[in-house]
Amino acid sequence: MTLAASRLDDDLDARALSTLNHVFGLPGFRGHQEQIVRHVAGGGDCLVLMPTGGGKSLCYQLPALLRDGCGIVVSPLIALMRDQVAGLLEAGVRAAALNSSLSYAEADAIERQLLAGELDLLYVAPERLLTPRCLSMLARAKLSLFAIDEAHCVSQWGHDFRPEYVGLSAIAEKFPNVPRIALTATADALTRREITERLGLTEAPCFVSSFDRPNIRYTIVDKQNAPAQLKAFIADKHTGHSGVVYCLSRAKVEDTAAALCKAGITALPYHAGLPAGTRAANQDRFINEDGVVIVATIAFGMGIDKPDVRFVAHLDLPKSIEAYYQETGRAGRDGKPSDAWMAYGLSDIVQQRRMIDESTGSEAFKRVSAGKLDALVGLCESTGCRRTRLLGYFGETSTDLQCGNCDNCLNPPKVQDGTVAAQKLLSCAYRTGQRFGAQHLIDVLLGRLTERVGQFGHDKLSVFGIGGELNEKQWRAVIRQLVSLGHLHPDSEAFGALKLTETSRTVLKGETQVMLREQTGGRPPRARSRRGDLVGGGAARDATAGDPELFAALKAWRASVARERGVPAYVVLHDATMDGIAAARPRSLDELRGIAGIGDKKLEHYGAALLAVIDAARR
């Protein structure tokens, strides 16, 4: 490197740190952020994989401020654009969004700002960006970079494929000299490869951060009475907290929301079948109010920037580990202890397999989808650390065999030789013709002479009544684990009939030992994560870093300011910033300026008011 190039790099680094501190109020970079910012600010393309809450936005916002021109951010949702723009404006960044919610006059004013060089960042939906009119306008503007957020949407193998993203390959052709950065929180090797191919980034470096979210506790329970289990989970750990509950069907969304409301929990439904006004109103309440639980299909979530979501619950199995990771990642974006909780049963596997088989996708697509589902079922049935298995799916290995913050680590399941039980179950499936689902097989094994058992003469079989050593709940667990291990296959075309697989023969002949997880009970103990942070249940998980009374006063002040300004509370100040204030109790503007999250503009806007709140709390 020449001396001149070295000086340029030093100057860029100094400007990056100065902007990071003065605009965003942050003392330094995290993880790969510094490398990514330097690379993109220097004119390079790249793909960034970084977990939700890991600071992806800064990786394109900061380079856009360091380079000449306006950064164009491709974003899929209006809600995400609105919140990002609101946060940037609060920090003093000239930002705007072009989307379908604007009137012609509003959109025209923003376009004139762009062409006049009066914007630092402009958020645009992919379908709008690709219109001839928009491309022509961008060609006349000075552009600093293109950022393609939620880049997994470009891949048919991703968990949220969107056809409009495919056309974004045109950016590389039409703007070859403008750097491009694609970002996603979730992508396995297959999805990453398609992202780079479709977006013309095959020669660009890929920055992969750790997928680990150590503040999230992963818990997967056997589905028995899911609504009751959910209510108990919320009552036990998350009374008064914001959360997201995912269901597969619209009807289940509405039923679950109603049941939670009846239990005294503020819950709102969200799905594509609701009127647009109702959806928007429910989403706004969730974002702007504390303690609201949103019950939703997967139509809700992408781009939700709310940092204080304390739990994400699944009442139905997602379709892949990528989808599970993306959805659970909406919890705890502020780094505070949070929960990912799921109730899971055999019917979930049958339902997801039916959806795959009945889809209009190609055979290759169905095969890949089935493989992704099998990987998720393996996670559900794992007897080892959930986090280690989850990270391993994304190619991330860990030297820690236990994370200390998942149900299997906190309350290790007992494993026993289940070969005999497996042989009984497989024999029952075989002798009944491989035409029946779990309930019928369990009835036969337990010797129940139901109408259906009698109708088919299955009470005369040698397997009738041979399973009395286990109860129904335990047999269901055996069935799920045999499906997970690949010894049974639920046939979606035969309404979930359980069929033997190639490996079943070796189990029946005693050549393959089957180890099965026992059911365990009891509440898991409090524990520490492998990073040493307290992650136990109850009040400890709610504690702030400083004075709780001051924190409450700051929260009330923030809510008032947010209402007055018409923005979400976290746009004014994040909880983490208020934690810092409550812990440090600054006495001057200079001391307040040293709190992470307090940049120049926020100090100017709120400094005096914050000091007044702190002073009042001292009296």
Kindly write down the DSSP assignment for every residue of 8-50, as one continuous string: HHHHHHHHHHHHHHHHH--SS--TTHHHHHHHHHTT--EEEE-
Question: Quick one: pLDDT at residue 159?
Answer: 58
Average pLDDT value over all residues in the chain: 87
Mean pLDDT of 185-191: 79
Confidence of residue 541 (pLDDT cuts 50, 70, 90): very low
Find the range with the poorest average confidence among 176-185, 269-278, 520-529. Answer: 520-529
**508: Cβ–Cβ under 8 A, 6 or more apart, which residues?**
423, 426, 427, 430
Q: pLDDT for 379-393, tens place per residue?
A: 998 888 999 989 888
Buried b (16+ CB within 10 A) or exposed e, 525-564: eebebbeeeebbbeeebeebbbbeebbebbbebbeebbee
User: Looking at the domain covering 216-344+382-407, what would its CATH class be?
Assistant: alpha beta
Confidence of residue 154 (pLDDT cuts 50, 70, 90): confident
Which residues make beta-bridge pairs with 269? 295
Confidence of residue 575 (pLDDT cuts 50, 70, 90): confident
Question: Quick one: pLDDT at residue 39?
Answer: 95
Would you say the C-alpha torsion 580, 583, 587, 590 has a positive or negative sign?
negative
- List every span in the chain annotated with CATH 3.40.50.300: 3-208, 216-344+382-407
Q: Single out the residue of 479, 477, 482 nearest to residue 506, CA to CA.
A: 482
Confidence of residue 527 (pLDDT cuts 50, 70, 90): very low
Phi/psi class of residue 566: alpha, beta or left (left: φ > 0; alpha: ψ in -120 to 50)? left
Question: Going by CATH, does the domain composed of 548-618 fall within 1.10.3720.10?
Answer: no
- List every span in the chain annotated with CATH 1.10.10.10: 415-517
Mean pLDDT of 486-507: 82
- List every span in the chain annotated with CATH 1.10.150.80: 548-618
**382: Cβ–Cβ under 8 A, 6 or more apart, which residues?**
389, 408
Six token digits for residue 372? 């992704």
* CA atoms of 52 and 312, how far apart (whole Å): 13
Question: Quick one: pLDDT at residue 392?
Answer: 87
Angle between helices 226-237 and 250-262 (to 10 degrees): 50
CATH number for region 3-208:
3.40.50.300
Are the beta carbons of 429 and 527 closer than 8 angstroms? Answer: no
Does the pLDDT at position 536 exceed 80? Answer: no
CATH number for region 415-517:
1.10.10.10
* Of 110 and 346, the one with more pLDDT: 110
* CA atoms of 480 and 347, how far apart (whole Å): 9
Confidence of residue 399 (pLDDT cuts 50, 70, 90): low
* Of 470 and 353, the one with more pLDDT: 470
Mean pLDDT of 421-430: 96
β-pairing verdict for 267-270 and 216-222: unpaired
Question: Quick one: pLDDT at residue 266?
Answer: 96
Mean pLDDT of 256-260: 96
Percent of the chain with pLDDT over 70: 90
Of the ranges 162-176, 362-376, 390-404, 591-605, which is most confident?
A: 591-605
| Residue 456 CA, distance from chain mean position | 47
In angstroms, what CA-CA distances link 461 with 191, 211, 385, 441, 450? Answer: 49, 51, 41, 12, 14
Question: Quick one: pLDDT at residue 175?
Answer: 95
